[in-house]
Amino acid sequence: MTKRAIHRALPAHQTKTTFRRACPIALSLPEIRFLLEDNRLCRDFEPGWIDLLAHKFHALEAHTGALIFAEGEKESYLAIVAQGEVSVWKETASAEVKRIATIPSGYSFGEMSLIDATPRSATIRAEQDSVILTLSRNNFDTLRTESPHLALAFVLRIARLISLRLRQTSGSLCEYL
C-alpha cells in the first residue's frame, strides 16, 4: 500500500474551494494501521499495539485551506498529519493572526487536549490536501481501560513531545528577550 493510495478523489460536482472544514472520511483498518506506523507517536510500537490504536482513530480529509479546528473550540482530540501539511495560527493580543508553525506529515498536534481538556490554544488549517488521523478523548479513555500499558506508553510519548516543544519554545523566546 502506498501513501498515494489513501487520497480520495473529489466528486465531480465539488471543487476544493467548496470545503471550509475538514470532513470525516472512511478509511479501512489496514489503511489507518499503515498510516499510524509511519508517525512519530507510534513509531516502534509493537504490531499488536498499532492494531489496538487503529481501532480508536478516525480520519479526516482536509483540502488546502480547510479549517481543522479553531482557537477556542472545545473539541478534545489529538491529531496526526498522516499525509499533507498543516499550519498553526495564533491570534495576538492586537487581534492579528500569525502563523507560528507548520506541521508536516508524520507529526502530531492537539496533544494537550487529551491531557487537560481545555479549549484549543491555536487554529489549525491545511496547507495542502491532507489526511488527518484523530484520537478523541473518549476513545483515549476507553483505551486506558482496555489497554493501560499501551495508554501509558502513548502518554509518555506525548509528554516527551510536549517537553521537547517547550524546550524549543523557551530557546526561541530567549532570542526575543
pLDDT tens digits, one per residue of 117-174 = 899 999 999 999 999 999 999 999 999 999 999 999 999 999 999 999 888 888 887 7
pLDDT of residue 43: 87
User: Structural domain of residue 138, as residue ranges?
Assistant: 17-174
Q: Rounded distance, CA 95 to CA 58, Å?
A: 33
Q: Which three cell numbers stand for residue 48?
A: 499488536
pTM, two decimals, is 0.85
Q: Is residue 106 part of a domain?
A: yes
Q: Give tens-digit pLDDT for 10-34.
A: 334 334 444 489 999 999 999 999 9
pLDDT of residue 11: 39
pLDDT of residue 20: 87
Phi, psi of 124 (to 5 degrees): -120, 130
Contact present, 74 and 172 (Cβ < 8 Å) = no
CB atoms within 10 A of CB 48: 10
Q: Is residue 117 part of a domain?
A: yes
- What CATH number is attached to the domain comprising 151? 2.60.120.10
* Sheet (strand 130-136) strand order: 23-25, 57-62, 130-136, 77-83, 108-109
The average confidence (pLDDT) of the chain is 88
Q: Rounded distance, CA 108 to CA 77, Å?
A: 11
pLDDT of residue 9: 42
Better-scored residue on pLDDT, 119 or 7:
119
Total number of domains in the chain: 1
Contact present, 90 and 122 (Cβ < 8 Å) = yes
Q: Is residue 12 part of a domain?
A: no
Q: Give tens-digit pLDDT for 87-128.
A: 999 999 999 999 999 999 999 999 988 889 899 999 999 999
